[in-house]
Chain A
Amino acid sequence: MIVGAGPAGMRAAEQLVAAGQRPVVVDEGARHGGQIYRQPPVVMRRERRDLYGFEAGRASAVLDRFDDLRSQIDYRARTLVWQIEANTLQLLHAGRNHGMHFDALILATGATDRVLPFPGWTLPGVYTLGAAQVALKFQGCLIGPRVVFAGTGPLLYLVAWQYASHGGQVAAVLDTASASAKWLAAPRLLARPAVAMKGAYFVARLRMMGVPLHGGVTLIRAEGADRVTALAWRSGGTSHTTECDAIGFGHGLRSETQLADMARCAFDYDPIDQAWLPTQDSAGRTSVPGVYLAGDGAGILGADAAELSGARAALAALEDLGIAPAEPQGAKRIERALHAHATFRRGLETAFAPPERWAADAPDELIVCRCEEITAGELRACARETGAREMNRLKALTRIGMGRCQGRMCAPAASRLLAHAAGCELHEVGRLRGQAPIKPIPIVMLHDRAPSTIVPEDQDD
């Protein structure tokens, strides 16, 4: 079974089909493609050149390949995996729940934006960069006619360029990382010269279009009463205000690791991603036999690496199941190719490092957790007054990460605040333990009924 129909999941399925298997591919999306190659609804006709730009060729290759293999894949769209227990996935589709057994599980769960919030980020009109892209790719609309893109990461310039070339007015691109960081990163970025060139192209095009680009920026506040009307920011000691109708922001990506956690995979701290990630070998094997990782869900490497790691994980699963792969030398070739991606990735993290002073600068009244409305000040007070130094303890005492998102959005920010308040390193505060369901599920679900023992009423403390 494969969870996720992005580049990693699609390439994993391809390898399994090539070896004569009929994989199950489960995906939350309405159509295959994942976030990066997200496809519009079937009724909406759009050119791939228009949707994916430079990546149209790659997108078409992988999307069409998956389409070609559809008859050999048990593909389940709009299906949420909400729990894993003893080699069984709990699947929710159209209000119906059922368990599905697996012999091998490839988790290709992708990533979401890494959000380090700033004052005013909860105003209507403020989106993550990822959400701004979803609006464009899936719905064919912009988050606003006049948009500021802020934060850092390669996505910042890509989305800005996509908006600018789709008729959006980009009021400014405000990078919290500095220009000098990009020069420091240059040697590693040249591990993938074509990709580095594309990044340079976006920047050059945005400049030609007259879009103001600023580096080394501190985001001060999204302004507006009912919705955002401007972004106040600071650069080199000077304060600025840029008027806008919408803001897209983010600080790189974070891996979606909850299913790996539920599968009881061991985790390690990854200093490049600045996050706890499931441990894996070079083939994508986790600490749990039969569970494999692929794509950005296992650490941020991007779409091209995801295709490679998806194929690699599938080959590892086949090998472990004693099934011969279609191409015996494939694994070695893929691992060599992945190496260049890892070097490039280290370069990216240097070029687009999340703001180091974010935790120190975040004002006390800043809402860190939108679900439960927990502020930076409340988290600091908890650390100060109770001595909390660990994320699950912080969660228990403040409700951070206890809301609808279960910490998927707020944990990067909350862990940075806790580490800063406790005066320790980010990895020392640990990570939130994953708990089912990984996304909210309705109380009323249709499912196979099989009665089990009733809990006696005298045990209800």
Chain B
Amino acid sequence: MTERATSESLKADVAIIGGGIVGASAALFLRRSGLSVVLLERNLCGAAASGVNYGGVRTQGRAIAQLPLSLRARSLWARLPELIGIDGEYVPSGHLKLARSQADLHKLETYRDAVAEHGLDLQITSGSAFRRAHPWLGEQAIAGSFCAGDGHANPRLVSPAFARAAQAAGARVIEGCDVTELVHTGGAFIVGDGRSVTVRSRWLLNCAGAWALNVARRFGDDAPMTSIHPGMAVTEAVPRFMDLNIGVEGGGIYGRQTARGNCVMGGARGVANGALYGVPTARSIAELCDRMAALFPALAHAHVIRFWSGVEGSLPDHHPVIGPSPTTPQLIHAFGFCGAGFQIGPAVGEALAELVHHGRSSVALDAFSITRFHTASSSSSTQGAH
């Protein structure tokens, strides 16, 4: 974003590595608290997992530990234009999670009952009432759990816009900056690319996504993170038949339709394509196409115009790492969102800003501490991301 002079030395209260939705929203909220921020992004802000994900804005289906963050995020999504200057094609359409069997329906009911006391209100319909309400669904769907406060949005617009908003709020955003220099000395972090930028800061936020272990390990922190490559497909525009964000109990497919009529579908798997990109496999594409045709009969004669994937950090318990480093004061990690970071991203950014500014966040983060992996068996057998 900003032009880079040669060999620049910067000072800031907070340095952030990674310009995805988490790092960029942290930068935005830190600026709103009056702290100075430098955000360093290796490539372009919001171009990795934050920008190429499916675009689900969903609380339903999350583990109870994530609900406080997710509900907090919901209130931020509701005022997206005020935060980032665009609506990001955010549609609070609701999220409908389908059951394809009685057993799956039972799981939806169990989940509904478990989350009710945590502020998540879900409505389950089945049988003929369900079919009447959603006649465009394939017959394999027999019931659905509806979450009215959820929706979907366009990640390739939303995530870069958080970085632009942070910059507009006074953060220094430096793209194309691959951090190689990384030390903590005398109460300050020295962070730079070893040639043109050096930042000296009191705080360091590690928001480097699937590559965050490259940062964490410099300070002796580790987690059993691996890289996953979720595969997506988008169809040509077809007449509008749904506005809901659709998920399925048991997985394998999820989908939404944009205002323009294109259907964005996820559920395929990819492989790494170099260090920065992912590409879906032909086999998983074929399987996803089968599921699309079965679940959405309106797509039976449609064409797929593009498949894509990305690189996402995943942890064994499907929870991210969010919180202070146990080894290094004023280092905070936030990475490994396991394919479910887009919706909670802004709330994580806000929580990081609170951690820096107040020493604690208004949302409980205990479940996400990196120290949860510090057991005798797991800490030494971790596998690095790319």
Which of A's residues lie within 8 Å of B, judged by CB? 83, 85, 88, 90, 97, 99, 264, 386-387, 390, 392-393, 396-397, 402-404, 406, 433, 435-437, 440-445, 447, 449-461
Say yes or no: B339 contacts A459, CB within 8 Å.
yes
Binds A, one of B10-18, B114-122, B131-139, B278-286: B278-286
Task: Identify the closest chain B residue to A83 (Cβ).
Answer: B282
Known contacts being A406-B306, A440-B304, is A460 close to B289, with CB within 8 Å?
A: no
Q: Which of B51-59, B75-83, B199-207 contacts A (4 or more CB under 8 A)?
A: B51-59
**Known interface pairs A442-B304, A452-B269, A458-B61; 8 further A-B residue pairs with C-beta atoms within 8 A, sorted by A's residue number:** A386-B160, A392-B47, A396-B51, A436-B307, A442-B302, A443-B303, A454-B251, A460-B267
Q: Is B282's CB under 8 angstroms from A88's CB?
A: yes
Could you write out 17 A-B pairs with CB less than 8 Å apart? A393-B44, A393-B47, A402-B305, A436-B285, A441-B303, A451-B287, A453-B269, A454-B250, A455-B230, A455-B267, A455-B268, A455-B269, A457-B254, A458-B339, A459-B314, A459-B340, A461-B57
| Residue of B268, B302, B340 touching A443 (CB-CB under 8 A) | B302
Query: Smallest CB–CB gap between A439 and chain B, Å?
Result: 9
Q: Which stretch of B23-31, B292-300, B368-376 is in the interface? A: B292-300
Query: Would A460 and B247 be within 8 Å (CB), given that A443-B292, A455-B269 are in contact?
Result: yes
Are B303 and A442 within 8 A (Cβ)?
A: yes
- Which of B63, B235, B252, B268 counts the most chain A CB atoms within 10 A? B252
| B248 proximal to A (CB < 8 A) | yes
Q: Assess whether A460 is in contact with B340, with CB atoms less than 8 Å apart.
A: yes
Provide the residues of chain A in CB contact with B157, threshold 8 Å. 396-397
Say how far A56's CB is from chain B's closest CB, in angstroms.
38
Chain B's closest residue to A392 (CB) is B47
Q: Are A442 and B301 in contact (CB under 8 A)?
A: yes
For residue B184, CB closer than 8 A to chain A, the reply is no
Docked Cα-Cα span, A299 to B352, in Å, equals 51
Asked whether A452 and B287 contact (CB < 8 A) given A397-B157, A457-B97, the answer is yes
CB-CB nearest in chain A for B248: A457
Residues from 81 to 121 in B contacting A, C-beta threshold 8 Å: 97
Whether B289 lies near A461 (C-beta < 8 A) is no
Complex CA gap A264/B274 in Å reads: 9
Q: Please measure, in the bound complex, the distance between the C-alpha atom of A447 and the C-alpha atom of B157, giving whole angstroms.
A: 35
Of the candidates A392, A440, A447, A461, the one whose C-beta lies within 8 Å of that of B305 is A440
Specify which chain A residues have a CB less than 8 angstroms from the CB of B335 in the assembled complex.
none
Could you tell me the distance between the alpha carbons of A442 and B235 in the complex, rounded to whole angstroms? 9
The complex places the Cα of A460 from the Cα of B291 at a distance, in Å, of: 15
Q: Looking at A442, A444, A461, which has the most chain B CB atoms within 10 Å of its CB?
A: A461
Contact of B61 among A387, A450, A455, A457 (CB under 8 A): A457
B65 within 8 A of A: no
| A456 vs B250: C-alpha distance when bound (angstroms) | 6
A461 in contact with B58 (CB, 8 Å) = yes
Q: Which residues of B contact A435 (CB under 8 A)?
A: 306-308
Most A Cβ at <10 Å: residue of B47, B304, B305? B305
Contact indicator B56/A460 (Cβ below 8 Å): yes
The answer to whether B300 touches A444, judged by C-beta atoms less than 8 angstroms apart, is yes
Query: Which of A450, A452, A454, A460 has the most chain B CB atoms inside 10 A of its CB?
Result: A460
B residues near A458, Cβ cutoff 8 Å? 61-63, 251, 318, 338-340
B273 at the interface (CB under 8 A from A): yes
Contact between B282 and A85, CB atoms less than 8 A apart? yes
Contact partners of A440 in chain B: CB under 8 A: 236, 303-305
Which residues of A sit under 8 angstroms from B306, Cβ to Cβ?
402, 406, 435-437
- Residue of A at shortest CB range from B299? A443
Interface residues of B in 304-329 (CB under 8 A from A): 304-308, 314, 318
Q: Check: B342 CB closer than 8 A to any chain A CB.
A: yes
Report which of B236, B251, B314 forms a contact with A457, defined as CB distance below 8 A.
B251
Closest to B312 in A: A459
When chains A and B are docked, how far (Å) is the Cα of A129 from the Cα of B386?
46
One of A386, A390, A445, A456 near B286 (C-beta < 8 A): A445
Cβ-defined contact, B156 with A396, below 8 A: yes
Interchain CB contact under 8 A, B1 and A387: yes
Give bound CA distance, A452 to B282, whole Å. Answer: 12
> Measured between C-beta atoms, what is the minimum distance from B285 to chain A in Å?
8
Given A441-B303, A443-B304, A444-B293, are A97 and B266 also a contact pair (CB < 8 Å)? no
B58 cross-chain contacts in A, Cβ below 8 A: 460-461
Residue of B whose beta carbon sits closest to that of A99: B282
Contact partner, A390, options B44, B281, B314, B318, Cβ 8 Å: B44
The answer to the question of B164 belonging to the interface, with a C-beta cut-off of 8 Å to chain A, is yes
Q: How far is the CA of A386 from the CA of B247 in the complex (A)?
A: 33
| Most central of A88, A451, A459 by chain B CB within 10 Å | A459
Taken together as a complex, chains A and B put the C-alpha atoms of A221 and B283 apart, in Å, by 47
Q: Give the distance in Å from the alpha carbon of A441 to the alpha carbon of B289 in the complex.
A: 10
Question: With the chains together, A433 CA to B290 CA distance in Å?
Answer: 26
Contact across chains for A406 and B61 when beta carbons are under 8 A apart: no
CB-based nearest A residue for B270:
A85
**B149 interfacial by beta-carbon distance below 8 Å:** no
CA distance A360 to B327 in the complex (A): 56
Q: How far is the CA of A83 from the CA of B270 in the complex (A)?
A: 13
